[in-house]
A = this chain, B = another copy of it.
């Protein structure tokens, strides 16, 4: 099985990190390719960034189709460009947000998602509604840290999640925490142990679901929302 993973931002360091994480959990027989576009924003933290990354991302989706991969993983929480990718792709495309939110809804009554800053809460909230799992959405855990800060101050990041998570468990009934920010996966085991919740690392979870879907020969439906777009002149 050949899995094509797209990191939609242009940070090669981040691409390498995803590659390393997935290399460690992939099945032996799975062939793994992890790429990022050459052009576009170096990280994706707004709908503006998603918009700028979109066309470059679609080129990579096309390449995966042309080169005969079995499944595409879109490795950026918020799933930028996911619907467009499903439209143009014959092979299945899995977004790490959609896969982790649906799994979270199965593993507990309510889930919370981390976010760097308060301005991302509305996106978390309406994506839960968009994915149809809003009944299981409890809250967003706002870390008030940039991605860079999370990387530079790992102890602070972990302490923040523990504090926010504990309050969410007590006040909002959170049973599952979805890591909506990159670079937090390493803390999952500690957080699970201390809070008793389940912690979901979206990239890992979505990768395994992608393997499962490809193995079953499943794909997204091409008969309605994700039908191939009509041909079109692009100036």
Q: Which residues of A contact B (CB under 8 A)?
A: 10, 25, 27, 38-43, 45-52, 54-55, 58, 81, 83-84, 87-88, 92, 94, 98-99, 102-103, 105-110, 118-119, 121-123, 125-126, 129-136, 146, 169-170, 173, 175-176, 195-198, 200, 204-205, 208-209, 211-213, 215-216, 218-227, 229-230, 232-235
Contact = CB atoms under 8 A, between A and B. Distances in A.
A48 B89 CA distance: 11
Contact of A232 (B45, B176, B212, B225): B45
A52 B46 contact: no
A219 B205 CA distance: 12
Nearest to A107: B220
Contacts of A88: 48
B84 A41 contact: no
B131 A130 contact: no
A224 B175 contact: yes
A51 B84 contact: yes
A122 B220 contact: no
B224 A52 contact: no
A219 B175 CA distance: 11
A122 to B, nearest CB: 4
- Give the oligomeric copy count: 6
Contacts of A221: 107-109, 175-176, 196-198
A217 to B, nearest CB: 9
B130 A132 contact: no
Contacts of A234: 39-42, 52
Contacts of A235: 10, 38-42
A64 to B, nearest CB: 15
A25 B176 CA distance: 30
A165 to B, nearest CB: 11
B109 A225 contact: yes
10 contacts: A51-B51, A103-B213, A119-B225, A129-B135, A169-B223, A195-B223, A197-B221, A204-B216, A208-B213, A211-B212
